[in-house]
Chains A and B, each alone.
Chain A
Amino acid sequence: MGKEFDVERVRKDFPILSRKVNGKRLVYLDSAASSEKPASMINAVNEFYKRSYANIHRGLHTLSGEATELYEHARKNIASFINADPKETIFVRNATEGINLVARSFVAPGLKKGDVVLLTEMEHHSNIVPWQMLAKGKGAVIKYVPFNDEGFLDLKKAEALLKEKPKFFSFVHVSNVLGTINPAKELVTLAHKYHVPVLVDACQSVPHMKIDIKDLDADFLVFSGHKMLGPSGIGILYGKRKFLEKMPPFLGGGDMIKEVSFKEVSWNDLPWKFEAGTPNIEGAIGLAAAVDYLQNLGIENIEKHIKEITTYALKKLSKVKGIKIYGPKTAEKRGAVIAFNLGDIHSHDLTSVVDEDGIAIRSGHHCAQPLIEKLGLASAARMSFYVYTTKEEIDLFIQSLEKTRKIFKL
Chain B
Amino acid sequence: MNAAEMYQEIILDHYRNPRNFGIVKNANLSFRDSNPSCGDIIEITLLTDRVGIIKEIKFSGKGCAISQASTSMLTEYLKGKNIKEVKTLKKEEILEMLSIELSPIRLKCALLGLKVIKMAAYNHLGEKLENENDYT
User: Which residues of A approach B to under 8 Å, CB–CB?
Assistant: 344-349, 352-353, 356, 363-365, 369, 372, 378-379, 403-404, 407-409
With A364-B38, A408-B12, A409-B12 already in contact, the answer to whether A346 and B65 are too (CB < 8 A) is yes
| Most chain B beta-carbon neighbours within 10 Å: one of A349, A353, A356, A403 | A349
Which of these, B3, B16, B64, contacts A356 with CB under 8 Å? B3
Q: Is the CB of B39 within 8 A of A407?
A: no
Q: Is the CB of A407 within 8 A of B4?
A: yes
Distance, CA A407 to CA B5, complexed state (A): 9
Q: Is the CB of A363 within 8 A of B2?
A: no
Distance, CA A376 to CA B31, complexed state (A): 24
**Which residues of chain B are near A404, meaning CB under 8 Å?**
3
New contact pairs (9) apart from A348-B64, A349-B65, A372-B39, CB-CB < 8 Å = A346-B63, A347-B64, A348-B38, A353-B7, A364-B37, A378-B39, A379-B39, A379-B62, A407-B4
**Which residues of chain A are near B63, meaning CB under 8 Å?**
346, 348, 378
Q: Is the CB of B16 within 8 A of A344?
A: yes
With A356-B2, A369-B39 already in contact, the answer to whether A348 and B109 are too (CB < 8 A) is yes
**Which residues of chain B are near A347, meaning CB under 8 Å?**
64
Distance, CA A77 to CA B58, complexed state (A): 59
Q: Is the CB of A349 within 8 A of B39?
A: no
**CB-CB contacts of B53-65 with A at 8 A, as 1s and 0s?**
0000000001111
Distance, CA A353 to CA B65, complexed state (A): 12
| Most chain A beta-carbon neighbours within 10 Å: one of B7, B40, B62, B66 | B7
Residue of A nearest to B6 (CB): A352
A256–chain B nearest beta-carbon distance, Å: 33
Distance, CA A406 to CA B62, complexed state (A): 23
Distance, CA A95 to CA B62, complexed state (A): 30
Q: Is the CB of B3 within 8 A of A365?
A: no
B111–chain A nearest beta-carbon distance, Å: 14
**Which residues of chain B are near A408, meaning CB under 8 Å?**
7, 12
**Which residues of chain A are near B68, meaning CB under 8 Å?**
346
Q: Is the CB of A363 within 8 A of B38?
A: yes
A368–chain B nearest beta-carbon distance, Å: 10
The answer to whether B81 has its CB under 8 Å from any CB of chain A is: no
Q: Is the CB of A407 within 8 A of B38?
A: no
The answer to whether B87 has its CB under 8 Å from any CB of chain A is: no
B71–chain A nearest beta-carbon distance, Å: 13
Residue of B nearest to A378 (CB): B62
**Which residues of chain B are near A379, meaning CB under 8 Å?**
38-39, 62
**Which residues of chain A are near B40, meaning CB under 8 Å?**
348
**Which residues of chain B are near A346, meaning CB under 8 Å?**
15, 63-65, 68
Distance, CA A23 to CA B38, complexed state (A): 26
**Which residues of chain B are near A403, meaning CB under 8 Å?**
3
